[in-house]
Amino acid sequence: MSNSLLVTRIGSLVTNDPDIGVGPLGIITDAALVIENETVAWIGPTGQSPAADNVIDAAGAAVLPGFVDSHAHLVFAGERGDEFAARMQGQAYEAGGIRRTVNATRAATDDDLRQILNHLAAELLHSGCTTFETKSGYGLTVTDESRALQLATEATPETTYLGAHVVPAEFANDPGGYVDLVTGEMLSACAPHSKWIDVFCDRGAFDADQARAILTAGIAAGLQPRIHANQLQHGQGVQLAVELDCASADHCTHLDAADIAALADSNTVATLLPGAEFSTRATYPNARTLIDAGATVALATDCNPGSSFTTSMSFCIAVAVRDMFMSPDEAVWSATQGGAHALRRDDVGHLSVGARGDLLVLDAPSHVHLSYRPGVDLIRQVIVGGSAVRAPQSIERPPL
Ligand code: NIG
Ligand code: FE
């Protein structure tokens, strides 16, 4: 095979394909896998491994699909560590803090923003996110939103126009005028650089009628909808997500029984963001209720300077297991296949033949260790399209 990579002696391979392995994670033990031309070309027992140009000996370690982070805000300048410190001493989180990052982002040069974006994208990749989404939303002018999205396209195809993050200070007395801008000139400037349209439908941001107008305009311009919903209080955001067939309703912190039933009966993924509840000291949503009702749940980092400044999906998995009542298996599925569903991608999030060759070799015998060993960097190797982007660490280890 040309340009091929064989990963062999995999102790436990998570494929997320129940047709080829055990359980919902489609686990195969003592497995091997070949990636050719950036896609998975063969999966089978180690003993039947074909020859390949390059070989990785997993030596009994677990292998899983690369994480799919379906929610991040990476185009911004400045940081807000002082707000985090104040919150940990009792101050409440409110949407208004976004405007502070807007001021810093508008003042930054393209190169400043590119450098921050690239740094955070590299952090994501290093911690195992082989696919990630990123949003605008800290520019809030036609020029600043469209430059954010142009920069974002340099880093990922999953770009989201979030002109409707908050109403900027200069429109404080004319929120309707800002919605007109977001659905008019700003949309025209941003749509060519965006796959998605998003709106923050919550207290201090946009109400359900404004959100409906914004998402509907985006859909008419060829964008696909997703939404920030029910983070700070209960509202109509989740119902709107289902009404408009949004790929995902993100946060879902405050849900009632009707929201859960609506999500379960829809194609809309409930994307949970453990970093946001952690960093705002909010009550975690209960993933168990969503999963038991039949909803599809994804986990994402929500990396942003205000409410969740983490690029670690492993951290999100551990918190989701501990505080959102997901099983370790469910959390790994939600961080991989769940994220792929939230981005409506069928080429990532699983390791069936024909999927992209994006995978992680863990420094552990099982994916369960991602939550069992919280705070420990267990990502030994990151493979994207069959190429190693994170080399093995050189420290000596006992046998797994
Ligand atoms: O997803 N909820 C809205 N947006 C971000 C927070 C942004 C900020 O505080 O700067 C979020 O949590
Ligand atoms: Fe967000």
CATH number of the domain that residue 31 is part of: 2.30.40.10
Q: Per the domain annotation, does 383 fall within a domain?
A: yes
**pLDDT of 397 higher than 90:** no
For the CA of 251, the closest atom of ligand 1 is 1
pLDDT at position 366: 98
- Nearest by Cα to 332 from 372, 303, 363, 277: 372
- 364 and 236, same structural domain? no
With a pLDDT cut of 70, the percent of the chain lying above it is 97
Residue 310 lies in a domain: yes
The pLDDT, as a whole number, for residue 3 is 87
For the segment 174-231, what is each residue's pLDDT rounded down to a tens digit?
Answer: 999 999 999 999 999 999 999 999 999 999 999 999 999 999 999 999 999 999 999 9
* Least confident window among 83-87, 236-240, 357-361, 393-397: 393-397
**pLDDT number for residue 97:** 92
Which range marks the domain in which residue 12 is found?
A: 4-65+350-390
Whether residues 209 and 267 fall in one domain: yes
User: Are 123 and 259 within one domain?
Assistant: yes
Atom 8 of ligand 1, nearest CA residue: 306
Are 84 and 97 in contact by the 8 Å Cβ rule? The answer is no
For residue 396, the model assigns a pLDDT of 64
Q: Is 304 in the pocket of ligand 1 (CB under 6 A)?
A: yes
User: Do 303 and 374 lie in a common domain?
Assistant: no
For ligand 1, atom 12: residue with the closest CA: 307
Same domain, yes or no: 261 and 368: no
Does residue 377 form part of some domain?
A: yes
395 lies in some domain: no
pLDDT tops 50 at residue 1: no
The bound ligand whose nearest atom lies closest to the alpha carbon of 70 is: 2
Q: 97: Cβ below 6 Å to ligand 1?
A: yes
13 vs 65: CA distance, rounded Å: 9
Q: Are 202 and 174 in contact (CB under 8 A)?
A: no
Ligand 1 and 390: CB distance under 6 A: no
Residue 391 above 80 pLDDT? no
Which atom of ligand 1 lies at the shortest distance from residue 71's CA?
1
- Residues 292 and 330 grouped into a single domain: yes
Is residue 398, in this structure, part of any structural domain at all? no
Q: Are residues 286 and 365 both part of a single domain?
A: no
Statement to judge: residues 360 and 243 lie in one domain: no
Answer with the one of 342, 358, 373 that is the final residue of a domain. Answer: 342
Q: For residues 293 and 157, state if they share a domain.
A: yes
**pLDDT per residue over 143-189, tens digit each?**
999 999 999 999 999 999 999 999 999 999 999 999 999 999 999 99
pLDDT score for 394: 56
Distance (Å) of CA 218 to CA 75, 171, 187, 205: 20, 21, 7, 18
CA angle 176, 137, 280 (to 5 degrees): 105
Q: How does 48-71 read in b/e, with b if 16+ C-beta sit within 10 Å? A: ebeebeeebebeebbbbbbbbbbb
Would you say residue 79 has pLDDT above 80?
yes
Going from the C-alpha of 116 to that of each of 77, 78, 176, 215, 286, the distances in angstroms are 7, 9, 32, 28, 33
Number of domains in the chain: 2
Measured from the CB, is residue 276 less than 6 Å from ligand 1?
yes
Is residue 397 in a domain? no
Q: Clarify whether residues 366 and 303 are in a common domain.
A: no
Following DSSP, what letter does each residue of 152-205 receive, concatenated? HHHH-SEEEEEEESS--GGGTT-HHHHHHHHHTHHHHHHGGG-SEEEEEESTTS
> Is there a single domain that holds both residue 120 and residue 171?
yes
Residue 361 beta carbon below 6 angstroms from any ligand 1 atom: no
Ligand with an atom nearest the CA of residue 160 = 2
Q: Cα separation of 374 and 368, whole Å? A: 11
Whole-angstrom distance, CA of residue 71 vs CA of residue 132: 7
Ligand that comes closest to the CA of residue 229: 1
Q: Same domain, yes or no, for 325 and 373?
A: no
Q: Mean pLDDT across the stretch 327-355?
A: 98
Question: ∠ CA 84-87-91 to the nearest 5 degrees?
Answer: 145
Q: Average model confidence (pLDDT) for the chain?
A: 97
Q: Where are the alpha helices (H) located in the chain, listed in sequence order?
A: 81-87, 98-107, 110-126, 142-155, 175-183, 185-190, 208-220, 237-243, 257-264, 274-280, 287-293, 313-323, 328-333, 339-342, 369-372
- CA-CA distances (angstroms) from residue 54 to 40, 42, 140? 14, 14, 47
Q: What is the CATH number of the domain that holds 154?
A: 3.20.20.140
pLDDT at 95: 84
Q: Which atom of ligand 1 is nearest to the CA of 95?
A: 9
C-alpha 298/C-alpha 284 separation (Å) is 14
Q: Is residue 272 part of a domain?
A: yes
Asked whether the predicted pLDDT for residue 386 surpasses 50, the reply is yes
